[in-house]
Structure 1
Amino acid sequence: MRIAITRRGYITELDGVNKFIFNLAEGLNQLGCEVHIISHALGGSQVSNIASYAEKFFDFQGKFQIHALPFSYTNDALALPLWFLNGSRLINKLEVDAVIINGIVPLNSRKVKIAVNHGIFTGSFLNTNRITQHIYLQFAKHIYLYGIDLTVCVSSKLKEELGKLLNIKSIVIPLPLKLNLYRTEPLGKRSPLVLHVGGRSSKNAEISIQSMKILNEKYDLDVKLIIVGHKNAYLESLSAKYKYMVPKTLEFYFDASSLVVRDLMANAKALILPSRYEAFSYVVLEALASGLPVVVSSAIPSELVKDGFNGFRLLQYDPNLYAKRIKALLTDDDMWDGMSKNALKTARKYSHIKVAKLYLHAIQDIMRMKLNS
C-alpha cells in the first residue's frame, strides 16, 4: 500500500508530531508500505540531509520519500489555499492509496483521508485572539465534517475535548513508539538524577527547578536536575536566573539527540513534567519505556499515567508537592521497583508496529465502505 503522511509545518521541527510521523512511517515500512512524507522544507542542507536528520533526532531507520511543497510556512492564511492546490496536485500525482494528515489542511482528493489530531489547546492556538480562534475552529470543523473520512485522536482525553468543542466524532489510536530502542537499568545502576524534558514555557521547567531546590535544601538529598530542550529564550532565561545551581544540582542539555535523551532516561531515577497542557506526551511515554517512574501534572492523560501505579499524577502546580513525591521515589526502593515494572507494562501497548496495524486496518475499512457505497 502507498501512503502519504502530511505535516502542516516543518518536518524538521523537533516536536512530538514529527516523532509520531517518523515512528508511524517506520512501522508502515515494516508492514510493507511505501511511505511518502509531504511537508514544508527549511531549505539548504537540512533538506538534502533529511534522512540523517530523521535518524539523529527521531531514530528513523526505514525508507521514505520526502516532498517539500514550494512555499514558505509563514502565514496560515496563505499556506492553506496552497495546500489545496499544490498539496492536492502532488497527492494525486503520487497515486497514493491513503493520506494521513497532521495539521488540518484542505485537500482535493478522493483518496482515503485520515486526520490525526495531536492537541487543541496548544500554545500557537492560545496565543491568538478570540476572533482568529473562532475562525480556525469553524474551518477545522468544516474540514473534519466534509473533507475527512476519519478523525483520529491520540488520547481519550483529546477525543473528549474535540467532541465537546466541535461536536466531532473520532476514534482513539495511540502514539507509536519503537520500544526496542529503549533500555532499562535496575535502580542500583542509576544515578541520583531527575530529568525534565521539554523547553517550551508550557512545560513549566521552573517548577522542576524549584522542586529540585526543595529536595536538596529541605530534604538534604544530593540530587541533580537535568533539563533537556530546544535552546530558546525561555530556557536561556532560566539558565541565567539559576546559574548559581549549575553544575552541582542543575544542568541544561540543549538540542540533545534522541540517543542522548534515551541514555539519560536509562540513567535517571525520575522524570518530572509539570506541564500546563498535554494531549498526550511522548516524553512521558519514552520515560515509561525506559522503566523510569514519572511525577507529572494532571495535564498528562490518566490512560498513560495512573497515580500510584507507574508514577504520580498531581492536581496542583506546587513545587513542594513535586518534591515530596520525588523524595518518596528516591527513598523507597520497593516503591521505585514496582513503579518501574508497571511503567514497562504500560509502554508495551504503544509499539509502533501495533499502532501502524491499527492505521492500516482503519484505511482498509474505509476502502471497503467506499467500495460498497
Structure 2
Amino acid sequence: MRLAFPFSAIVGQEEMKRAILLTAVDPTIGGVLILGHRGTAKSTVVRALPALLPPMSVVRGCRYGCDPDNDTRRCDDCRARIAAGEKLRHDKHPVPVVDLPLGATEDRVVGALDLERALTRGEKAYEPGLLARANRGYLYVDEINLLEDHLVDLLLDVAATGENVVEREGISVRHPARFVLVGSGNPEEGDLRPQLLDRFGLSVEVTTTTDLDARVEVIKRRDAFDRDPEGFTAKWASEDLDARKHVERARKRIDALKVPDAVLRDAARLCAAVGTDGVRGELALLRGARALAAYDGARAVTTAHLRTIAPSALRHRLRRNVLDDVGSAVRIERAVVDVLGAA
C-alpha cells in the first residue's frame, strides 16, 4: 500500500489542518471545503487524515459499518439480525476515507444490482456503493466544483437525511450514510452551487506561501519523502500519534464543555452582522469553537475560540456584494473587530 505524506510534516496551512482536525473531534460540524491553487497540499492533507483517526466500533459482518451502540441508525440487515434473535458483536475498524471520483457513475456511488450473483445464482442482491463505504467516515471529492449536477443532487439528498435509499431493478435498500464531506478545488475553474456550498460546516482558502524559508522547507520535506517514504513517515510518526491522542482526548471532554450564553450571543451577533441566511452559521460557529476548545484542553468555550473559527465558519456563507471589492475573509475580519473587538 502506498504511504501517505504525514499530516504533521505538512508545512504551514494551519487553518486547513485545524479545520480537518476539528471535524475529527466533532463530525457534526459538517464538511470542509478547501479552495486554492494547485500544489497547496489540499489532497495531501486528506490523504494524511487516516493516521489521525482513532479506530471505530463496527457491527461484525455489517456491510455498512453500523455503530453497535446506536440503535437508531442501523441498516435493514442489522435490524433483521436483531429481529431474528441474533446478538450483534462488534470489531474495531479504521475510519473510512473514501474518494469519490469526478467520473463516477450513479450506480457506483449509491450501489446497484450485484451482477455476479444475479448471473451465477439468479438472485437479486444489492452491491453497496461508495456512500456505504463512507458511512461514519469521510467522503472526499477532489475538484468538487466540477462534479456533475446529478451527483451533487444525490449528495444533497443524502446529506439532508443521513440515509441512502436505493429503489431500482427490483431492489429496495435503505442504509445509513452519514459522513463528513471534504471537497477541494480551484475556484478559478468554477463555482459551487449555493445549495452544496451551504452544506459545508467550514471552508478554507489556501494559497502558495511567499515565505522563502517555508518554500525551501516544503521542497526538502517532499523530496525526502519521495526518496524514502518509509523512513520519512517513521520520522514523523510520533507527531502524528500526538495529534491522534489530542483528538481522542478532545472527543472525551467535548460533551462536558460549557458554552456560556454570552458566547452564544456573540455568535448570533456576528452572524447577524455579516448577514448570513438561516442559523447554520451560528451552529457551525458553536460546534467549531467547542471542538477547538476541547482540542486545546479548555474548560469552556470563549470568545477567543469564536474569533479563531469565524473565518472558516462564515466566509462561504456571505452574500455577494457587487459594491464591495474586498474578499470574504476581509469582510469577516472587519465584522469580528466590530462585534467582538480587537484581539
What TM-score, normalized to structure 1? 0.24
**Which one has more relative contact order, counting CA pairs under 8 Å at least 6 apart?**
2
